[in-house]
Amino acid sequence: MSPHPQQPAVEVSGLVKRYGSNVAVDGLDLTLDRGTVLALLGPNGAGKTTTVEVCEGFRAADGGSVRVLGLDPRRDGDALRARIGVMPQGGGGYPGVRPDELLRLVAACAANPLDPAWLLDVLGLDSARRTTYKRLSGGQKQRLSLACALVGRPELVFLDEPTAGMDPQARRLVWDLVGALREDGVSVLLTTHLMDEAEALADHVVIVDSGKVVAAGTPASLTRGTGDEQQLRFKAKPGLELSLLRDALPEGLDVRETLRGAYLIEGHIDPQVVSTVTSWCAQQGVLAEELTVAKRSLEDVFLDLTGRELRS
Ligand SMILES: Nc1ncnc2c1ncn2[C@@H]1O[C@H](COP(=O)(O)OP(=O)(O)OP(=O)(O)O)[C@@H](O)[C@H]1O
């Protein structure tokens, strides 16, 4: 039990981190409340891993303040390491080690570890427990890395792209595990490029770009956006002439073909709009397939905020 349960699990204020002249993190603020899950989203190179590594105590900040479980991750690193779990990006095992050896080694450093054999079984690694690290699949390496992060019963876990390279079954397993950690009161800070992962797991989302926070809030508050804005999507043959549809619809709706044969109408979508669209399609002799009406997704919000161009 923490002596200061009211303190956030992680509190970052005005964090600055430079690599030479490159400002990787540029005055970033975030707060992870105890027993909650925070997802850090951002394009490649936005500064997510750097932020997480500063919180873990692996990198020194150039400015700002960072408190993790009420401690300074650089000064109080030894005390902190016993209480946190870290799943770094890209695994981290050495080539000849076997999963059961590595996990038992990590467990031996913890005061009250979970049973390594049980954890390997839960993570579907039982049959691979004697396989050398270099022969594990990418998804198995990821699961082993997660096991190492969890075996010490941490109060707080940092998961850097935890499901990268995993198949859908393994991804579901990790999602269930993160849900179970949260139920147990564990705090989780994760980075991800998967918007559905953030929507499914996170209580709070922080979107960063060029080292700065560009939006933060619950997934629902971020997607609620501009009031009653919704999206009507349908699929039909590519290249429909949309000008007549625009004329038939009320003003203020954005109508476009986003990808070949994928149509999007954004704005205030009411039953009359749906009726107009389906009637127009019927007049054109086309079937509107997969017609859906939904609010904007977190991915739409993300792309609006961070742009659609590729990052280097
Ligand atoms: N060790 C390092 N030395 C020099 N520059 C670095 C180092 N690590 C990261 N950077 C640079 O800092 C910036 C932020 O990188 P960081 O890895 O934190 O971003 P990220 O958001 O985690 O990206 P990704 O989604 O690709 O993992 C990038 O411009 C990157 O090239």
**How high is the pLDDT of residue 124?**
93
Residues 213, 206 contacting (CB under 8 angstroms): yes
Of 87, 116, 114, residue with least CA distance to 101: 116
Does residue 24 have its Cβ closer than 6 Å to ligand 1? yes
Cβ(298)–Cβ(223) below 8 Å = yes
Q: Is the CB of 57 under 6 A from ligand 1?
A: no
Nearest Cα to Cα of residue 52 among 198, 192, 252 = 192
Which atom from ligand 1 is nearest to the alpha carbon of 50? Answer: 18
Question: Which 8-state DSSP code applies to residue 104?
Answer: H
Q: What's residue 88's pLDDT?
A: 84
pLDDT of residue 187: 97
Beta bridge partners of 23: 18
CB proximity list for 245: less than 8 A, separation 6 or greater: 255, 276, 277, 280
Q: Which of 48, 159, 210, 214 to mutate to test the pocket of ligand 1 (most atoms within 8 A of CB)?
A: 48
Q: What is the pLDDT of residue 94?
A: 82
Nearest CA to ligand 1 atom 12: 24
Q: State how far Cα 192 lies from the chain centre.
A: 3
Residue 285: Cβ-neighbour burial (10 angstroms; 0-12, 13-18, 19+): exposed
Identify the CA nearest to 170 among candidates 133, 142, 151. 142
Tell how many helices (H) and how many strands (E) occur in the chain: 11, 13
Residue 27 to residue 206: CA distance in whole angstroms = 14
17, 24 Cβ separation under 8 angstroms: yes
Those residues with Cβ within 8 angstroms of residue 222's Cβ, 6 or more apart along the chain or in another chain: 205, 207, 215, 298, 301
Which of 15, 22, 194, 210 best tests ligand 1's pocket when mutated (most atoms within 8 Å of CB)?
22
157 forms beta bridges with 85, 188
Decide: 88 in ligand 1 pocket, CB within 6 A. no
Report CA(23)–ligand 1 centroid distance (Å): 10
Residue 279 pLDDT? 96
The pLDDT value recorded for residue 226 is: 57
Residue 249 CB: number of other CB atoms within 10 A?
21
Strands 187-191 and 84-87: unpaired
The three-state secondary structure class of 111 is: coil
- CA angle 190/195/197 to nearest 5° reads 55
Return the pLDDT at 225: 64
Cα→Cα distances 131→215, 256, 270, 274, Å: 43, 52, 57, 56
Q: Which residues of the chain carry a pLDDT beneath 50? A: 1-2
Q: pLDDT tens for residues 274-293? A: 999 999 999 999 999 999 99
